[in-house]
Structure 1
């Protein structure tokens, strides 16, 4: 389910629960906050939740590490250890979903099923890894495991569809991903390729097409949707009002909603213009030097895509097993001559190995402008090439229109991330300087990890479970203040500067 912010989540659940009478259930990955109990799913509008709070979890033990090893598996807010042991995560989430479908026949229900696969640290059942190894024996092992994890989602979704199809009532399933694939392993000790977004440019965490495009499908157990080719766009946020329409909501939609109701696209034989613009994302980057937020954004505007920055490090990366998809090529370029020219070009400029640079990729000054209809792989920046001089007036007018559109959208309401004491990245860097044993002790003391009793520790091999006391408190201030004074005494200037910035905005304790 697409949610722009937790505010959208709250609005959606309020409408579908209170106005239409649906039961609501969340399964799998949460990753929308666990700073305190008010952030977790069963306190955010879901009637039930089974899953994990953090972005990633061990697929087999449902735990996380460092410091210590702790359970990250909850049922309605309580740590949950199944009597029969843990299933492989992807199957655990589909099994839970099937159980909800079977047992909630008394009222309509909405299920938010969020797989953690193929999030790092990627793992998959051995039979699926063996299957990928047999299909692609020369492929790097990291890529084989990634494909096996994706195959597990296919299996899980097949089981959900089969379960839903047994029921008399209709179930509509919307399947999508939140971003393009991560092209390199980045969890644990694994090194090598993971996903492949070829021929598109980029990867997870950047706003190029390879970082944002992903397949989507919609399926009903009772009705057939219209099959058509559309020369227009649909954005993931459009499912918010579209689902409510399917569910029977007939009142005024909330104000300042990003999504557009696409009911007609699925249900009616003729469809008017769908949408011709949307904002991919606003990235708020904290500038430690100037102590201010800088906003980067990418916008689709008709055939064009505009970004108010440049990132020269991002390119196109080939798949380790090769790539050939004639249907996709013909869809993008119906005419053979252009198809041959564009595909040859993207092969020429792409890298055989993952080209994601290590470290943070910082936007460069300037801007990027691409015509995605003619250049879907973003190979030619119209904002900096010869075309920018040739068509300067046209492009400047276009970019002015786009930036005016962005201002209008931002005026709907945008909140910058909290600065100062809630700067999570800076805090993480500081805490990594603390020896693991001391950090673990501090996490237990603050309730970030709740210790198990000795019997549970022995039976599970886990130190405790993830707590929901991650909001900063006096114990953190005391620890960091002592760390600051120790760093000053020991000439650890970098550490002292980070703590100074975190606690006192760079002005020092005096």
Structure 2
């Protein structure tokens, strides 16, 4: 090799080190939060599903820290999404239930003073993008662009009645910011494409980004593309037809997530991007989902409705291949990301940062009790305090009490054996419920009708 070639090689080497060092020392990390819809705790190969092939989500689990005791704030969609973006109990920001099209079945309206995660990151100099499902408001001022997102490409509403037509009760909720759009294709594929296109723009402008990628899948209706369905039918010949469709739906979703992760790699963004993966609640078993050995499913506050597969990846900062039994909730993601990215929080929240467990592998357990509730007519409630869990899964029913350390599948109700503990925990829960009931959650026009 010539002397000039050697000098050139050395210069390139030191320039690479300098650029890398500069980026690591002064550049804030990018953030990609992937939230999927109704993914069961037992519906990933890495979480024990023998019939699933989910190599890309499994790759995320192995390349970062996997949480085995992570909980959605609620057993249904909207409240958990509100918790993610506010860092608060959803009932404290006006989303105790599901935001729906029909006024008579709507149970949520974001409070005007709610401070959203994208607003905080926007103020810190981040470009903020939502790709996919919003589900926190159908009208101004509670649409994504009024709540801190610079860019929105996705679905304003709740579930899609069809993944190909993208309609909900005859309404087209697909938007590009405020523009109504009618794109062709399966919603999962569209969200994947839009996510990658947004990443390409961010790589080009060099600005740090926060992208929230919220897939509708695998929420019912279970509609995998036909080629995916046929492939799984041929492979799982003896499986229940509903299970086969769910497998194909999840594997198609996994492929989309794999494309997004590959785009991060190709664009050179992976090393400085924190990726969070989670689900908004547990799977619905009647549609072929599995929550493993956990009790019950979506719309219930037993473990199967609220315990969700979750991981966080940040190459070089979070050691790969770790698993933790540290218990955290969806609302804890906001303060953790703020902590990791140096984004100050400007509002009081209930969420708590789990940054130490990510970067150091250990952290003292949170000691405050945590609450799960869902309002629809009456309320379903659960409270976790250490190993103990209080449950009332049907309004008006007696409370049940479980020790999750000894009984993770909630088989033995200890309410009669632990009356003093039960009574004390019910009192604590009722204080929380009283606070929640003071927060308005009806749309202004509905509230005005009530006041008159």
Q: Residue 311 of structure 2 is aligned with which of 197, 214, 217?
A: 217
Aligned-partner Cα distance in 1 for 2:399–2:386: 18
Q: Which residue of 2 aligns with 1:63?
A: 167
Q: Which residue of 1 aligns with 2:58?
A: none
What is the DSSP-based 3-state SS (H/G/I as helix, E as strand, rest coil) of the residue aligned with 1:211? helix
Matched, 1:127 2:151: no
The answer for unaligned runs of 5 or more in structure 2 is 1-32, 34-83, 94-109
Q: Which residue of 2 aligns with 1:238?
A: 332
Q: Residue 163 of structure 1 is aligned with which of 242, 259, 263?
A: 263
**Mapped contact 1:238–1:259 kept (Cα < 8 A):** yes
Matched, 1:79 2:180: yes
What is the DSSP-based 3-state SS (H/G/I as helix, E as strand, rest coil) of the residue aligned with 1:184? helix
Q: Which residue of 2 aligns with 1:283?
A: 374
What is the DSSP-based 3-state SS (H/G/I as helix, E as strand, rest coil) of the residue aligned with 1:300? strand
Q: Residue 12 of structure 1 is aligned with which of 97, 101, 117?
A: 117
1:138 deviation in Å? Answer: 2.4
1:21 deviation in Å? Answer: 0.4
Q: CA RMSD in A?
A: 2.9
What is the DSSP-based 3-state SS (H/G/I as helix, E as strand, rest coil) of the residue aligned with 1:205? coil
**Mapped contact 2:379–2:395 kept (Cα < 8 A):** no
CA deviation string 1:252-297 (max 9, x = no partner): x34431211111111125x3313245434223354xxxxxxx5542
Q: Which residue of 2 aligns with 1:260?
A: 352
* Paired residues for 1:340-419 under 5 Å: 362-384=394-416, 388=417, 392=418, 395-397=419-421, 399-401=423-425, 403-404=427-428, 407=431, 411=435, 415-418=439-442
Aligned-partner Cα distance in 2 for 1:216–1:146: 19
Q: Which residue of 2 aligns with 1:118?
A: 218
**Mapped contact 2:300–2:380 kept (Cα < 8 A):** no
TM-score with structure 2 setting the length:
0.69
Aligned-partner Cα distance in 2 for 1:62–1:145: 19
**Mapped contact 2:118–2:210 kept (Cα < 8 A):** no
Check 1:233–1:414 CA distance in 2 against 1; reply closer, same or farther (3 A cut): farther
1:38 deviation in Å? Answer: 1.9
Aligned-partner Cα distance in 2 for 1:261–1:409: 24
TM-score with structure 1 setting the length:
0.61
Aligned-partner Cα distance in 2 for 1:153–1:231: 26
Question: Which has the higher Rg, Structure 1 or Structure 2?
Answer: 1
Q: Residue 298 of structure 1 is aligned with which of 354, 379, 382?
A: 382
Greater RCO (CA < 8 Å, at least 6 residues apart): 2
What is the DSSP-based 3-state SS (H/G/I as helix, E as strand, rest coil) of the residue aligned with 2:358? helix
Check 1:158–1:239 CA distance in 2 against 1; reply closer, same or farther (3 A cut): same
**Mapped contact 2:390–2:422 kept (Cα < 8 A):** no
**Mapped contact 2:383–2:429 kept (Cα < 8 A):** no
Aligned-partner Cα distance in 1 for 2:222–2:159: 9
Number of aligned residue pairs: give it: 342
Matched, 1:195 2:293: no
The answer for unaligned runs of 5 or more in structure 1 is 186-193, 287-293, 312-361, 424-471, 473-502
Check 1:231–1:175 CA distance in 2 against 1; reply closer, same or farther (3 A cut): closer
Displaced runs of 4 or more, over 6 A: none
Matched, 1:91 2:193: no
Moved more, 274-283 or 36-45: 274-283
**Mapped contact 1:171–1:222 kept (Cα < 8 A):** no
Q: Which residue of 2 aligns with 1:25?
A: 129
1:54 deviation in Å? Answer: 1.5
Q: Residue 144 of structure 2 is aligned with which of 27, 32, 41?
A: 41
Check 1:401–1:118 CA distance in 2 against 1; reply closer, same or farther (3 A cut): closer
Aligned-partner Cα distance in 2 for 1:142–1:228: 34
